[in-house]
């Protein structure tokens, strides 16, 4: 008799598996919301920060980046926490932290509560990103393990799309107020970003409640000598015979129980899968996926689409991401991880090269006008009307990209056809960076004092002008980005979570996943840090070609180093890296959902 607590009506293995996938999917939804929710709230949060709280741009940047900091810290610790207290309890903590973060953020009245709430949100996302794929890999039958991870990724993409849709609806409401009742605009903007965060609370509550009815990971239980609960956990999603056979196979693995001699972590069975997972996660970010998703509106605008069309293009990309993840969900346990990774990375290379060529053609006629603009600076201000700028290009449709500075304050600006250039010196910076001020008092000075910008002269760092691409070029670029997103979603988007959770043996799985995900986030952070300065100085083409080159490495890794893991238990995958034959699957490969 199964003594594990189960929700009413979900006692059969098929229904138990569906329930587990639903809860894991909600975890993916929260992860996507963590990443994407700030985009819709940021324009109105900026307005509140400037008008009500009087925050500096550095402090606002810290609020935006706090999620990343919290995620990095919790990702590094997630494996140790999951090993210490269990996968289920760690997921429960992640859900509770997410639910706590929303009211802290939405009711914030200044810098400290806002940054605290964003840190909590980041910690939650980092835990979810490690522990949910880990739990899925250790709990699901091998025949549906790929589908389970695909559900996590699908709901992640839906979380991004939901965040974009909420932001679009709120933006339309604010625009209406701006036209009809401008006197109430400030109050409307302040309530708008708060409402964006409140709307993300229900999925967090559902995930937290859903985790309560899950069983603990059977492999974690067995590693602590709890054989009976481990067998009960396996039986929830498998037939009794399959559960018994898999339990026996897990017991035979080194490090799967307290009685086993674990051996050195430098053994081939540990080092090779760990290094392979790290390479795959680094390459996953080196495709440029996060920068493309974050700056899609800007990229499409630079490519020739109008502001409104660029926003619709951004929404289209997120919908394609979700739809192609559904395709991956269907294919991942039929075609396998290796096939999908090769298909996806191949499509990414082609799409990035095509986008790079489009930008290269548009940037070929770019010329330096920094001297022309410097000569027109008066009293540290620069005013150039649209007619004068239009004369700098043959067709009058200029696209000017300019980087300028006032002392430590550096800004990037894009001026399109029909717009004039206006640069004024900063009149006031309300508050200094809290961290910067603290370190400067101790003469460490890691951050410049932005107040020095108030009396600094205007300096044109660089300024390039070219003819603005037409709308046809913009739609071709959108097609390239759709190809890129579709290829990523059907391959790396899903398979990266499988590589993260399937490749590493039980002894190193949780901590190895933490380190690999930390590398993933480090690469993402580096790319995000260099993206704007690189495109500002060298254009977009070089970034797209660089991402394509990194993806070629990804393709070769998938083709020649990655083993196929479809239909294999985690123990059989471990045998591959020992150089031994894993034998036949210990569970039925025909289990249907």
With contact defined as beta carbons under 8 Å apart, do 150 and 325 qualify?
yes
Show pLDDT as tens, one digit a residue, over the chain (593 residues). Answer: 444 444 444 468 888 888 888 888 888 888 877 777 776 676 667 666 656 666 655 566 677 667 777 887 888 888 888 889 999 999 999 999 999 999 998 888 877 888 899 889 889 988 988 888 888 878 888 777 777 777 877 888 787 777 777 777 777 777 787 778 877 777 877 788 888 888 888 889 999 999 998 889 888 888 888 888 888 888 887 878 887 887 887 776 655 555 544 545 566 667 888 888 888 888 998 999 888 887 787 788 778 887 667 778 887 888 898 889 888 888 877 887 888 999 999 999 999 999 999 988 877 667 778 888 888 888 888 888 878 877 777 666 667 778 788 887 777 677 777 777 888 887 765 445 555 555 555 555 455 666 677 788 988 887 877 777 778 888 999 999 999 999 999 989 888 777 766 777 766 767 777 787 778 778 877 887 677 777 767 778 999 999 999 999 999 998 888 887 776 666 676 676 665 444 444 433 333 33
Q: What are the CA-CA distances from residue 155 to residues 228, 296, 317, 385 (Å)? A: 33, 20, 15, 48
Sign of the dihedral defined by the CA atoms of residues 27, 29, 35, 39, in that order: negative
Question: Read out DSSP for 294-344?
Answer: HTHHHHHHHHT--HHHHHHHHHHHHHHHHHHHHHHHHHHHHH-HHHHHHHH
Q: Domains of the chain: which residue ranges?
A: 12-214
Q: How far apart are CA 17 and CA 15, in angstroms?
A: 5
| Backbone φ and ψ of 33, nearest 5° | -65, -40
Three-state SS at 588: coil
Q: Where are the alpha helices (DSSP H) in 181-295?
A: 185-198, 201-212, 218-223, 227-236, 240-251, 268-286, 289-294
With contact defined as beta carbons under 8 Å apart, do 33 and 189 qualify?
no
With contact defined as beta carbons under 8 Å apart, do 432 and 397 qualify?
no
Q: Given the structure tokens 């096939």, which residue do they identify? A: 339
Counted residue by residue, the chain has a size of: 593
Q: How far apart are CA 162 and CA 526, in angstroms?
A: 27
Domain 12-214 has CATH 1.10.287.70: no
């Amino acid at each position: 008799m199964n003594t594990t607590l189960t929700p009413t009506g979900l006692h059969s293995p098929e229904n138990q598996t569906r329930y587990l996938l639903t809860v894991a999917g909600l975890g993916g939804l929260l992860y996507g919301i963590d990443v994407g929710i700030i985009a819709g709230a940021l324009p109105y949060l900026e307005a509140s920060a400037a008008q009500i709280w009087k925050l500096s741009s550095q402090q606002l940047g810290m609020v935006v980046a706090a999620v990343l900091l919290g995620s990095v810290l919790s990702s590094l610790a997630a494996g140790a926490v999951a090993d210490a207290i269990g996968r289920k309890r760690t997921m429960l903590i992640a859900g509770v932290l997410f639910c706590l973060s929303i009211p802290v953020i939405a009711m914030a009245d200044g810098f400290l509560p806002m940054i605290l709430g964003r840190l909590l949100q980041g910690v939650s996302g980092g835990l979810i990103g490690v522990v949910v794929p880990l739990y899925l890999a250790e709990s699901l039958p091998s025949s549906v393990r790929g589908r389970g991870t695909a559900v996590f990724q699908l709901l992640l993409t839906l979380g991004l799309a939901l965040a974009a849709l909420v932001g679009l609806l709120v933006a339309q409401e604010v625009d209406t107020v701006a036209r009809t009742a401008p006197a109430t605009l400030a109050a409307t903007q302040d309530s708008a970003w708060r409402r964006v965060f409140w709307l993300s609370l229900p999925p967090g509550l559902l995930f937290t409640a859903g985790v309560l009815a899950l069983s603990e990971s059977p492999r974690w239980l067995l590693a602590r000598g709890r054989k009976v609960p481990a067998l009960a956990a396996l039986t929830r999603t498998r037939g009794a015979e399959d559960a018994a056979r898999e339990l026996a196979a897990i017991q035979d693995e080194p490090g799967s129980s307290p009685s086993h001699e674990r051996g050195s972590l430098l053994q081939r069975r540990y080092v090779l899968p760990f290094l392979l997972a790290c390479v795959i996660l680094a390459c996953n970010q080196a495709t440029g996926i996060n920068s493309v998703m974050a700056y899609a509106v800007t990229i499409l605008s630079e490519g020739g689409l109008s502001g409104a069309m660029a926003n619709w293009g951004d929404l289209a990309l997120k919908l394609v991401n979700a739809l192609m993840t559904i395709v991956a969900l269907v294919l991942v346990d039929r075609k396998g991880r290796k096939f999908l990774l090769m298909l996806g990375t191949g499509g990414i290379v082609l799409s990035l090269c095509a986008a790079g060529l489009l930008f290269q053609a548009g940037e070929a006629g770019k010329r330096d006008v920094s001297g022309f603009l410097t000569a027109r600076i008066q009293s540290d201000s620069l005013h150039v009307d649209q007619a004068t700028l239009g004369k700098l290009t043959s067709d009058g449709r200029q696209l000017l990209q300019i980087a300028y500075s006032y002392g430590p304050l550096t800004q990037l600006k894009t001026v399109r056809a029909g717009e004039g250039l206006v640069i004024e010196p900063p009149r006031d910076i309300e508050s200094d960076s809290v961290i910067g001020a603290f370190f400067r008092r101790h003469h460490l000075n890691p951050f410049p004092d932005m107040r020095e910008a108030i009396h600094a002269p205007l300096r044109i760092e660089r300024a390039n002008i070219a003819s603005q691409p037409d709308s046809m070029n913009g739609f071709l670029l959108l097609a390239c980005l759709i190809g890129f997103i579709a290829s990523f979603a059907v391959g790396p988007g899903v398979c990266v979570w499988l590589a993260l959770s399937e490749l590493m043996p039980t002894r190193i799985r949780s901590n190895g996943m933490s380190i690999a995900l930390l590398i993933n986030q480090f690469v993402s952070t580096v790319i995000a840090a260099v993206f704007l300065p690189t495109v500002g100085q060298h254009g977009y083409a070089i970034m797209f070609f660089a991402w394509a080159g990194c993806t070629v490495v990804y393709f070769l890794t998938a083709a020649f180093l990655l083993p196929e893991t479809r239909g294999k238990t985690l123990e059989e995958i471990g045998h591959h890296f020992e150089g031994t034959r894993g034998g036949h699957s210990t569970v039925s490969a025909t289990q249907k959902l």
